[in-house]
Chain A
Amino acid sequence: MERLTSREVAICTGTGCLGLGAAKVVSAFKIEIEKRDLQKDVRIKETGCPGFCEKGTLVVVHPPGVYYMGVQPEDVQEIVEETILNGNLVGRLLYTDPATGKKAIREDDIPFYSHQMRLLIKDNIKINPKNIDDYIALGGYGALSRVLSQMRPQEVIDEIKSSGLRGRGGGGFPTGQKWQSTRDAPGEIKHVIVNCDEGDPGAFMDRALMEGNPHSVLEGLIIGAYAVGAHSGYIYVRMEYPLAVQNARIALKQAREKGFLGKNILSSGFDFDASVHRGAGAFVSGESTALMNALEGKVGEPRPKYIHTSECGVWNRPSVLNNVETWANIPLIINRGSAWFSSIGTKRSKGTKIFSLVGKVNNTGLVEVAMGISLADIIYKIGGGIPGGKKLKGVQTGGPSGGIIPAKDLQTPVDFDELTLLGSMMGSGSIIVIDEDTCVVDLARYFVDFLCDESCGKCTPCREGLKRLREILDGIVSGSGSEGDLQLMKEIAGVMKKASLCALGRSAANPVLSSMTYFSEEYAAHIIEKRCPALACKALISYCIEPKLCIGCELCNKNCPQKAIRQEHDISVIDQSLCTRCGICFDICPPKAMAVKKISQGQSRPADHSSLNTNLKSSLNRSRKA
């Protein structure tokens, strides 16, 4: 192989990779480079998240862009020695295709990336988000300068309208139309707002953009402000994302220094500035009207929806609120034209969408695809299928207010309208893959429990409806469900849908309704047979030890927190009256034995399985004697 004259090492320092130890990798590189006196030749760049969090820490050596994965501090010396100095590859750190065993060297060779269409997050691995020059070097702020020098505000809005861009936060409202109503609304003072209060559990695309490429969002925001005639803006970031808060603040400061913010931007006569507001930890604040209350320093409760925020928003002034991803699309549309943008996607959903692919799937991470791709392609081609040879049960999309789509509907193209037809929704774009080990009833209960916690309590249908749903579902998963439960839940859901104040309440029953539609047999098993087919609901399962498989290593009884396991005739036996079903014995049983089994027999509290064990044991003893 030719000698690689490496000059730059890009290391992902997004929150995902940091959680896997990226900071230690960075300092290991710094020490190694200094030790070899290479500071002049090799630059270390701490970048944003390119999406393949599963394989963090990600390190790319440029040129030619060798993509290393799962890098640990102890690998650094070898990378510097082999790749940077000698131009060789470190094979074990390259991506290996699990099917073919082929190694991938560059980003484009990796199936996880090659099946995507990456317009928004592709640059994350090339940019140090704390350095505006990196963004400018890739053509950043070019769209802004074009807009300010060549386009009138109405032309900008028309361009966005004809691109067909729809809001990426969940609702899918046409962005151009939103801007138009704010532009047309009476009032001198108008505001533009970035919604980075990404509360949907399982979604993190906004975090990745805000942390990894904050200037793309800011450029979109300034263009939007110019189009609607706003001179002040807010970037609302949830405080659970400290790095996003920090990078947004740095981005504002640097943009101000370069003259992209402030008075008379790029000598156009247009004035605009923005500030960062931290959210204080309330899911409902991500709802647009609640967010505006929070911006005013008040409790983040939604306002009645008949007053449109585009005409009467924050401080009762016309306000445009868009999601992070929506804003980041704006410079793209200006640069490459609305015709190009609308050529991507489906009839009514244009462009790309970033999804977070998580749960029981091999390649978890952020995935940017053209609208209209099927769920199956996302899960199998990009996600690499389900780990451990398990069977896929379904896909949960749209966050806690979304729905659960069964495996049979996986060929559905992903766009705003198709997902709604299936009783789910696009939401902010989380795709949570569940396999046969996940109990759908328990998952629905989990979402209702989550929303119960997060409901602001202002309107009765949402506040009380969720509590009743939680009670009923708690009953079902603990084995005390009755046959009228399903009908009752349908009725409650109907009222919530019609009478709740905001989208949170109106869509809160979605997970319950969709799971009842597609997985009715699972509900029936819980309610009638008192059995959990997925072996997940604690109250309906029990653990027992198969005497034939037990090797008597005593790992389980040493680790059992309840001291519920005793040794009898060289094998372990669980005392069901003491067992709390924590599952530690199940996890700890050595793979060569796998003697601990989960069973759900169809009784709310299974009988003492020590008797079961005794029976099996006596048969074992008999066979031994024989």
Chain B
Amino acid sequence: MIDSDYELLDNIIKRYDGIEGSLIQLLLDLNSELHWLSKDVIWHLSQRIGIPRSQIFRVASFYKAISLTPVGRHRISVCMGTACQVRGAERLLDTTESRLGIIPGQTTKDRNFTLNRVNCLGCCAIGPVMVVDDDYHGRMNSKRTEKILNALGAE
């Protein structure tokens, strides 16, 4: 952890001071700032809020939105919801996998991309859908995928 991380941790803990049951909210905020939670972060959090590390780890490992491994600069999520599925999400994922050379859950060697598959993002009418760093892209095909990945510096 670097100095600014400690400060961040303090600020986020303050946000939920005295609110019962806010562990998940706290972890979500931390995750959205740091993109993943290291052992160090969990250890310090445990010290500060007095919840055992085992319990924090159990919660953090249960929920998909919290990452316990480092993620890349760009986060690519391919929606595998039913509506996207029947409109060719599988192929979209295949294309992305072979383009980046990783499978879902992995990060490229240059730490530029992390690929994930997600179960329904709720924009089923415009499927297949891909989310790139919080931007939604509807009606995706291999050509547009290529364009987006190239723009973000895929090798």
Chain A contact residues, CB within 8 Å of chain B: 15-16, 18-20, 53-54, 56, 198-204, 207, 239-242, 277-283, 294-300, 315, 356, 358-360, 364-366, 396, 399-400, 430, 432, 434, 438, 443, 446-447, 450, 453-454, 456, 561, 582-584, 587
Instruction: Say whether, besides A15-B122, A19-B137, A454-B119, A359 and B87 are in contact (CB < 8 Å).
Output: yes
Chain A nearest CB: distance from B24 CB in Å?
Answer: 5
Contacts of A432 in B (CB 8 A): 82-83, 86
CB of B25 within 8 A of chain A?
yes
Chain B contact residues, CB within 8 Å of chain A: 20-25, 27-28, 58-59, 62-66, 80-87, 91, 94, 98, 118-127, 129, 134, 136-139, 142
Contacts of B124 in A (CB 8 A): 201-204, 356, 358, 364, 430
Contacts of A446 in B (CB 8 A): 82, 85
Chain A nearest CB: distance from B87 CB in Å?
Answer: 7
Contacts of A447 in B (CB 8 A): 82
Verify A282–B20 contact, CB threshold 8 A: no
Taking CB as reference atom, which chain A residue is nearest B118?
A240
Verify B122–A204 contact, CB threshold 8 A: yes
Query: How far, in whole Å, are A609 and B20 apart by their CA atoms in the complex?
Result: 65
Verify B23–A430 contact, CB threshold 8 A: no
Q: Could you say which of A54, A295, A399, A582 contacts B125, with CB atoms under 8 Å apart?
A: A54
Taking CB as reference atom, which chain A residue is nearest B125?
A53
Chain B nearest CB: distance from A202 CB in Å?
Answer: 4
Verify A204–B59 contact, CB threshold 8 A: no
Query: How far, in whole Å, are A207 and B136 apart by their CA atoms in the complex?
Result: 15
Query: How far, in whole Å, are A207 and B81 apart by their CA atoms in the complex?
Result: 15
Verify B125–A365 contact, CB threshold 8 A: yes
Query: How far, in whole Å, are A438 and B90 apart by their CA atoms in the complex?
Result: 13
Contacts of A203 in B (CB 8 A): 120, 122, 124
Verify B83–A53 contact, CB threshold 8 A: no
Contacts of B20 in A (CB 8 A): 296-297, 315
Q: Which of B64, B98, B129 has the most CB of A within 10 A?
A: B64
Chain B nearest CB: distance from A444 CB in Å?
Answer: 12
Q: Which of B20, B63, B134 has the most CB of A within 10 A?
A: B63
Taking CB as reference atom, which chain A residue is nearest B98?
A561
Q: Could you say which of A20, A53, A360, A450 contacts B86, with CB atoms under 8 Å apart?
A: A360
Q: Could you say which of A19, A283, A297, A399 contacts B24, with CB atoms under 8 Å apart?
A: A297
Chain B nearest CB: distance from A255 CB in Å?
Answer: 20
Verify A16–B83 contact, CB threshold 8 A: no
Chain B nearest CB: distance from A292 CB in Å?
Answer: 10
Verify A582–B24 contact, CB threshold 8 A: no
Taking CB as reference atom, which chain B residue is nearest A18?
B136
Q: Could you say which of B63, B81, B86, B126 contacts A434, with CB atoms under 8 Å apart?
A: B86
Verify A20–B28 contact, CB threshold 8 A: no
Verify B122–A359 contact, CB threshold 8 A: no
Chain A nearest CB: distance from B140 CB in Å?
Answer: 10
25 A/B residue pairs, CB under 8 Å, sorted by A: A15-B123, A16-B123, A20-B138, A53-B125, A54-B126, A201-B85, A201-B120, A204-B122, A204-B124, A240-B118, A240-B120, A277-B25, A278-B24, A280-B64, A283-B119, A297-B21, A298-B23, A356-B83, A356-B124, A364-B83, A366-B125, A400-B82, A430-B124, A443-B86, A587-B142
Instruction: Say whether, besides A280-B27, A297-B59, A358-B125, A584 and B82 are in contact (CB < 8 Å).
Output: no
Contacts of A583 in B (CB 8 A): 91
Chain B nearest CB: distance from A204 CB in Å?
Answer: 4
Q: Ordered nearest first, which 3 A-B pairs have the shortest CB separation?
A: A53-B125, A201-B81, A280-B63
Instruction: Say whether, besides A19-B129, A207-B122, A296-B20, A202 and B83 are in contact (CB < 8 Å).
Output: yes
Taking CB as reference atom, which chain B residue is nearest A206?
B122
Query: How far, in whole Å, are A277 and B24 apart by their CA atoms in the complex?
Result: 9
Query: How far, in whole Å, are A252 and B86 apart by their CA atoms in the complex?
Result: 37
Contacts of A438 in B (CB 8 A): 86
Verify B59–A453 contact, CB threshold 8 A: no
Contacts of B59 in A (CB 8 A): 297-299
Contacts of B138 in A (CB 8 A): 16, 19-20, 56
Query: How far, in whole Å, are A281 and B24 apart by their CA atoms in the complex?
Result: 11
Taking CB as reference atom, which chain A residue is nearest B51?
A297
Query: How far, in whole Å, are A447 and B62 apart by their CA atoms in the complex?
Result: 20
Query: How far, in whole Å, are A406 and B2 apart by their CA atoms in the complex?
Result: 59
Verify B123–A295 contact, CB threshold 8 A: no
Verify A202–B81 contact, CB threshold 8 A: yes
Chain B nearest CB: distance from A21 CB in Å?
Answer: 9
Verify A278–B28 contact, CB threshold 8 A: yes
Query: How far, in whole Å, are A224 and B104 apart by their CA atoms in the complex?
Result: 43
Contacts of B123 in A (CB 8 A): 15-16, 19, 53, 204
Verify A202–B24 contact, CB threshold 8 A: no
Verify B64–A282 contact, CB threshold 8 A: yes
Query: How far, in whole Å, are A579 and B120 apart by their CA atoms in the complex?
Result: 30
Verify A242–B134 contact, CB threshold 8 A: yes
Query: How far, in whole Å, are A370 and B82 apart by their CA atoms in the complex?
Result: 25
Chain A nearest CB: distance from B76 CB in Å?
Answer: 15
Q: Could you say which of A201, A278, A295 contacts B82, with CB atoms under 8 Å apart?
A: A201
Verify B119–A199 contact, CB threshold 8 A: yes
Taking CB as reference atom, which chain A residue is nearest B31?
A280
Chain B nearest CB: distance from A410 CB in Å?
Answer: 18
Contacts of B66 in A (CB 8 A): 280-281
Verify B21–A241 contact, CB threshold 8 A: no
Verify B65–A358 contact, CB threshold 8 A: no
Query: How far, in whole Å, are A242 and B134 apart by their CA atoms in the complex?
Result: 9
Contacts of B126 in A (CB 8 A): 16, 19-20, 53-54, 56, 364
Q: Could you say which of B64, B65, B94, B119 contacts A201, with CB atoms under 8 Å apart?
A: B119
Chain B nearest CB: distance from A456 CB in Å?
Answer: 8
Contacts of B134 in A (CB 8 A): 242
Taking CB as reference atom, which chain B residue is nearest A588?
B142
Contacts of A365 in B (CB 8 A): 125
Chain A nearest CB: distance from B131 CB in Å?
Answer: 9
Contacts of B98 in A (CB 8 A): 561
Chain B nearest CB: distance from A367 CB in Å?
Answer: 10
Q: Which of A299, A358, A366 has the most CB of B within 10 A?
A: A358
Given contacts A277-B25, A280-B66, A297-B59, 18 further A-B contacts (CB under 8 A): A19-B129, A53-B123, A204-B124, A240-B65, A240-B118, A278-B24, A279-B65, A297-B24, A299-B62, A300-B63, A315-B21, A356-B83, A359-B83, A400-B82, A432-B82, A446-B85, A447-B82, A450-B80
Verify B142–A280 contact, CB threshold 8 A: no
